[in-house]
Amino acid sequence: MICSVRAASSLSVVAAASSKASMAPTPRFSVPLRSSQDPSSRLNSDRPLYLATRHGFGSEKPRRSSSETNAYEADRNPSISLPDQDELSAASQRLKIGVYFATWWALNVVFNIYNKKVLNAFPYPWLTSTLSLAAGSLIMLASWAARVAEPPKTDLDFWKSLAPVALAHTIGHVAATISMSKVAVSFTHIIKSSEPAFSVLVSRFLLGESFPMHVYLSLLPIIGGCALSALTELNFNITGFMGAMISNLAFVFRNIFSKKGMSGKSVSGMNYYACLSLFSLLILTPFAIAVEGPKLWAAGWHKAISQIGPHFVWWVVAQSVFYHLYNQVSYMSLDEISPLTFSIGNTMKRISVIVSSIIIFHTPVQPINALGAAIAILGTFLYSQAKL
């Protein structure tokens, strides 16, 4: 009897263990089991062992996870799509260029005011132009020495490609300064608003670029407005007129050569203009000494100091520094845009220069002269729209 009880108890323990084992998922070998006498029943360590997870027996189905892995960014509604990265980059680029243009125009207005004040009291445009380039060169040399700006890494090929740019820049700078020493600032900039016409003509006949017909038609009001303004200018001067025209042509070549020289180079727009100032200063200095000379400069300086006082020194410093700053920002803009777009921005800035100079210097303007300026500016606007 005792044996039967023990047997029953053993059977119940075995049944319970078997029941628990059947409830838990157990791995199953895919290798068939063979008898121990069969030599091939031994597992070969060189063969892979495959395991299959068993979720249960009979009608039991695998349990499904109660949570789903739908991950979203913090505070983001999955139904709202974020702007494309390219769109954000394009918007940032437009904002950057807009800031460059606004700063460029504001600095240019200040430069033109002080430049005209200096030329009225000290009518020596060659020295005035030289001082502008010298101030910019000193500013950049000091910035490089103090590591405020990273010095450019240049080679002989860079300076060779910079030579025609520096020559065009020197001619354009001196010609514009001569023009403003002979005529009103507003008249100089009205004539210089025809720069897009020079840009298109140079690009068409020298570079072989072609433009749609509406681009050529947009040049007609620019040329007509400038001609009307020149014919009705009260203080017309042929030297001032030709200086502005030569400046237009020289700066178009400068912009085209600059864009070609800056492409593929590691030099930034700021450092590129700094190198350009140094090169132009070397070109201009001997010509300034030959044309005007130290004797005329000394006599003119003493006369200006006696008439204006110490404020004249500040005028010279201001016009020199602001000349460098506005050109530096313009080259930072040129680093981002095409030469034709640069010419558009350069022309649109003349509106603020013309208006501010008329107000500050009380320049007399006839209605027909104002009409010519308005037509030229309207043509510039049409040109900018035609180039879009």
Looking at per-residue confidence, does 42 or 113 come out higher? 113
**What is d(CA 341, CA 180) in angstroms, rounded to the nearest whole number?**
25
The answer to whether the beta carbons of residues 114 and 315 sit under 8 Å apart is yes
pLDDT value at 258 more than 60 = yes
pTM: 0.71
- Give, for 301, the enclosing helix (H) or strand (E): helix 294-308
Q: Lowest-pLDDT range, 57-71, 73-87, 136-150? A: 57-71
Concatenated DSSP letters for 21-70?
Answer: HHHS--EEESSPP--TT-GGGSPPTTS---EEE---STTPPPPPPSS---
Give the residue-averaged pLDDT of 243-249: 94
Give the model's pLDDT for residue 214.
87
Q: What is the dihedral of CA 365, 371, 376, 380, to 10 degrees?
A: 110
pLDDT tens digits for range 4-55? 444 444 444 444 444 444 444 544 444 444 444 444 444 444 444 444 444 4
Average pLDDT of the residues in 101-105: 82
Quote the distance between the C-alpha of residue 293 and its chain's center. 40
User: What spatial distance separates the first Cα and last Cα of the chain, rounded to whole Å?
Assistant: 109
In this prediction, residue 335 carries a pLDDT of 67
Q: Which pLDDT band holds residue 290 (cuts at 50, 70, 90)?
A: very high
What percent of the chain stands above pLDDT 90? Answer: 37
* Percentage of the chain lying above the pLDDT 70 cut: 73
DSSP state at residue 146: T
With a CB cutoff of 8 Å and minimum separation 6, the contacts of 98 are none
